[in-house]
């Protein structure tokens, strides 16, 4: 078999798991219950958030929040403060693709 298969958790419970971490890319899987959020942080690479379930409420650099629904891919530039919330009634599930891998990026700013 030439391909490599990666597994991720099928759940409605809060989950933040690293799925792929190789020289080229970092892929994380995140599940957020209604009313919960991801800790505020700074984008440590060029980030693409792939929303597969629910609504992702995203604020960058203290700007007003924008909603991104399932079926959306949201691109976030490097080194921006991010606040992610699930303000909806459905579980939020999304994948985060970081390229290049953050270990190959410069340090980010402090928040």
Summarize pLDDT for 63-102 with one digit per residue, the tens: 999 999 999 999 999 999 999 999 999 999 999 999 999 9
Domain ranges of the chain: 15-104
Q: Tell me 57's DSSP state.
A: E
Q: Smallest Cα–Cα separation from 96: which of 45, 37, 22?
A: 45
CATH class of 15-104: mainly beta
Distance of CA 24 to the CA centre of its chain: 17
Q: What is the pLDDT at residue 77? A: 98
Q: Smallest Cα–Cα separation from 85: which of 23, 19, 39, 17?
A: 39
Taking the CB of residue 94, how many other CB atoms lie within 10 A of it?
25
Taking the CB of residue 35, how many other CB atoms lie within 10 A of it?
10
d(CA 46, CA 4): 24
pLDDT (tens digit per residue) in 21-69: 999 999 999 999 999 999 999 999 999 999 999 999 999 999 999 999 9
Contacts (Cβ under 8 Å, ≥6 apart) of 88: 34, 54, 55, 57
């Amino acid at each position: 078999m030439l391909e490599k298969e990666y597994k991720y958790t099928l759940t409605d419970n809060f989950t933040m798991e690293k799925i792929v971490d190789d020289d080229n890319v970092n892929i994380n899987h995140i599940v957020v219950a209604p009313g919960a959020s991801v800790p505020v942080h700074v984008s440590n690479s060029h980030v693409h958030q792939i929303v597969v379930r629910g609504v992702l409420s995203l604020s960058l650099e203290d700007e007003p929040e924008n909603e991104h629904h399932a079926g959306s891919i949201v691109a976030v530039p490097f080194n921006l403060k991010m606040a992610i919330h699930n303000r909806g009634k459905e579980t939020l599930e999304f994948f985060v693709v970081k390229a290049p891998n953050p270990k190959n990026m410069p340090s980010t700013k402090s928040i």
